[in-house]
Amino acid sequence: MSAGLADLVARYARKEKRMSGRLHDRVAVVTGGALGIGGGISRRLAAAGAIVVLNDIDADAAEMARAEIDAAGGRCVLVIGDIRDRAVVDRVRDTALSQKDGLVDALVNNVGDFRPAARTFLHSTEEQWQQLYELNLLHVLRMCHTLLPAMIANGSGAVINNATVEAFRGIPYAAPYAAFNAGVVAFTKSLAVDVAQHGIRVNAIAPDLADTPQTPAALMLRGRDPDLIQSWVPLGRFGTPDDYAAVVEFLASDDARFVTGHTIPVDGGTLAASGWYGRADGKGWTNLPTHP
């Protein structure tokens, strides 16, 4: 091996080592961290060296996630329970603060759901709105409110909220869901301004078309030609949990040290396309979905 190539290999190895441990010994809280996008986030942050405090309502799935993280050499502590419950929020806080001298370095508010859904807004009920509010927005406010004091005391921290591209465009059958996620986006911007003076950054991601247990690709593709994915998604595929987790890791790390108040769409280009679809024959684009 030439001296130049050997130096290149050595520099690459050093970079890989630095990147793999860029959250070393930091405490990261992940709500809904067992499956889907949250599962990808927990595993990725643990692989980057973080001590992951994983909250989930599904005890079996959470235990499986912890086992996988432990087997890979990571560290994970579980807090089982519904994050909509104020007592669970308090348990997550106490568990996180007990990990490392009362420090919390990152908070990932991942929990969210479009269910309970209704056929139209007029068929929805106030009880459904309340559930969607608690699932998509209220717990975000609570988790930030309960963990920000520890970040302020430390003079640093990163909050990453999980919203949706539906906060930026119209979606049928799910108007309250979209409204509460738009609230997450607005809250992210405003909180970022509030806490910047304390060295805390607040950002969000906006996923679309995630292949997860909640929204499996097989279900989305039922009765459809899978070759048409390239017509719906400019990058030509559905997202995997690690696609979203990679952006969360970036936002939690010092690499994003000058990024705050933003929501990053992680969507394969669907929001940018804004209603335009690739033609099935590969000859350009159309805004008429029935067009070939």
Q: Count of CB atoms within 10 A of residue 55's CB?
A: 31
Q: What is the DSSP letter of 31?
A: E
- Helices marked H in the chain: 3-20, 36-47, 59-71, 86-97, 126-133, 139-154, 175-195, 217-220, 229-232, 241-252, 270-273
Q: C-alpha 77: how far from its chain's center? A: 19
- Give exposure, 184-220, as e/b (b: 16+ Cβ within 10 Å): bbebbbebbeebeeeebbbbbbbbbbbbbebbebeee
Q: Residues 12, 133, 173, 177: which is the catalytic one?
A: 177
Q: Which helix (H) or strand (E) holds 278?
A: strand 277-278
Determine the Cα–Cα distance for residues 83 and 85; give it in Å rounded to an integer.
5
Q: Based on the residue annotation, tell me whether 177 is a catalytic residue of this protein.
A: yes
Determine the Cα–Cα distance for residues 8 and 92; give it in Å rounded to an integer.
44
Strand partners, 158: 106, 201
The sign of the torsion formed by the CA atoms of 66, 63, 239, 120 equals negative
Q: Which residues are catalytic?
A: 177
